Amino acid sequence: MRLTDEERAMADGAKSRAAARAMELLIRYGEALGAERLVEVTNVAGTWSVANPIVRDYAARGMDAVFSEFNLDSPEVVETPQAAVTACQLIGGLDARRPEALGVAAEVAALNEAGERYFAARGIAMHATCTPYQVGHVPLFGEHCAWMESSAVVYANAVLGARTNTEGRESTGAASVTRRIPYWGLHIPENRAATHLVRVEIPLSGMRDWGLFGYWLGGQIEDEICALDGIAQRPRPIDLKHFGAAAASSGGLEMYHIPGVTPEAPDLAAAFRGRRPRGTLRFGAAERRAAWQALNGRCTGEEVDFVMLGCPHNALEQVQLVARLLEGRRIRDGVALWVFTPRALGEVAERTGIADIIRAAGGELLSDTCPAISRIVPKGVRRAATDSAKQAHYLPAITGVETLFGSVEACVQAALTGRFAEAAP
C-alpha cells in the first residue's frame, strides 16, 4: 500500500492514537482488497449506535471503549476524536423519541441517548435513518464517500453520482477519523461502467413496479452494473429509492445507469464507456410476475395483523400520502400500522398535523429504526403486509413473520380491513 506523507504520519501517531489505529485498520483492509492506495473521502455515513445488545455491554466501559472496539476494531481504548469529515449516523435499533411504542426499556433508551449525545458532540450528525440523502446528507457528483447500508450506497452511486463501496461500521469509523478509505471498486471510474444491458419492455408506474423490477434484477445480476434501457416514464426519487433497495436485497446491486436520468449516463453509450455489453436481459410482464411470485408466493393467506410502510424510510410525500389514505378512517382492531420516516421528516409531520392524522386512525409514525434492524414487530403478529420488496425479503427471515408485498394503497387498505386484497400484476 502506497501512503502519502500525511497518511504515514497519521499511521505513526502524529495526529492522534485514534487516527493511528484507524490507519492500521485501513491498511490491513486495503491490502486484503488488493488496493494500492487510499483515497480522500469527504462524506461518511456509518453507525455509532450503542442500542445493539452486544454494543450495550461495552458501553459500561464508556463510549470511547465502544468507539475503539466497534468503530476502529482496536483492542486499545483510544479517545474518540472529532470527526474529520461530514459524517452521519444511519439507522439504529430503536425510536429515540418514542421508545415505548416499540416496547423498548427505558434504560436502553437512556443509554442510546447518552451515546447519541457523546458522538454528536464529536461531530456525528445524528440523522438516524437509512436514507440520509433525504435529509440533507447529500454528497456531490464525483465525491468520494464511505457509506454503509446497501440501499443508501446504491442511491449514492447511481442517483447522486457519488463514489462509495458498501462499507462496514469499522471502515466508516476509520474513515471518519482519517478522511481515507481504500481506493478500489466503485471509487475507480472504469469500474463504474455498465456491464449488462437490461431492456425494459413494460411501463413501470410507481413504487410497486420499481420494487418488483429491482427485486427481479438483483436476483439476476448479483453485483454487475446494468444500463436500464426503455424506461418510458421518468422515475421519481422515491421510485429509485425502492428499486435500489430491492435490488440490493435480492442481489448486491451497488450501481446502475438509466440513460438520460442518472448523472453518469447522458446516453446509453456513455453508460458503457465505449465497451460492449457482456450480457443482455429483458424485463417484461412475465419477469414482473415472477418477482411478485417470489415475494408473495409462499404466503399461506391474506389476513394480516401488521402493516409496515417506510422501508427505506419514507420521504415526506410518502407520509403525506399515507395520511391522505387514512384521513377520517380507522384501522381495523387487532391490526398494527407502523410508518417509518427519518426523524427530521418525522418532526415536520409532527408539527404539521400529518402525524396526528395517522395516529387518529390508529397507526404509529416512527423513526430511527425499522423491524428488520430492531427485530421488533408488534406482539403476536402472524402475517404482515408492506410496500417494500426489501422489507418483504428480510422480515420473514429475521422475525419469522409471513409478509405480503404490494402497493402502498393496498397496504393501507389491508390495515383498514385486515385483509390484503391486491391481485398479482
Residue labelled with grid coordinates 383498514: 416
CA distance 376 to 372: 8
- Exactly one of 151, 172, 178, 195 binds ligand F3S (CB under 6 A); which one? 151
CA distance 215 to 391: 11
Q: Is the dihedral of CA 93, 95, 96, 102 positive or negative?
A: negative
Binding mask 343-372 for ligand F3S (x = CB under 6 A): ---------------------------x-x
Residue 339 lies near ligand F3S (rule: CB under 6 A):
no
**DSSP for residue 157:** I
Residue 84 lies near ligand F3S (rule: CB under 6 A):
no
Residues 197-226 that bind ligand F3S (CB under 6 A): none
Residue 373 lies near ligand F3S (rule: CB under 6 A):
yes
Is-contact 145 156, C-beta < 8 A?
Answer: yes
**Minimum separation from the CB atom of position 250 to ligand F3S (A):** 13
Q: Which segments of 54-191 are extended strands (E)?
A: 86-89, 124-125, 145-147, 180-182
**DSSP for residue 419:** B
CA distance 11 to 9: 5
Residue 391 lies near ligand F3S (rule: CB under 6 A):
yes
Provide DSSP, 347-358. Answer: HHHHHTTHHHHH
Residue 166 lies near ligand F3S (rule: CB under 6 A):
no
Tell me the window of 77-85, 250-258, 307-315, 407-415 that interacts with ligand F3S (CB under 6 A): 307-315
Residue 148 lies near ligand F3S (rule: CB under 6 A):
no
Residue 411 lies near ligand F3S (rule: CB under 6 A):
no
Residue 312 lies near ligand F3S (rule: CB under 6 A):
yes
Residue 390 lies near ligand F3S (rule: CB under 6 A):
yes
**Minimum separation from the CB atom of position 249 to ligand F3S (A):** 8
Cβ proximity to ligand F3S: between 16 and 47 the closer is 47
CA distance 218 to 259: 19
Residue 389 lies near ligand F3S (rule: CB under 6 A):
no
**Minimum separation from the CB atom of position 284 to ligand F3S (A):** 27
**DSSP for residue 300:** -
Residue 215 CB contacts under 8 Å (≥ 6 apart), including other chains: 246, 247, 249, 250, 291, 294, 295, 389, 393
Residues 238-277 that bind ligand F3S (CB under 6 A): 245
Backbone angles phi, psi at 180, to 5 degrees: -135, 155
Residue 47 lies near ligand F3S (rule: CB under 6 A):
no
# residues contacting ligand F3S (CB under 6 A):
14
Binding site for ligand F3S (CB under 6 A): 91, 130, 151, 245, 311-313, 340, 370, 372-373, 390-391, 394
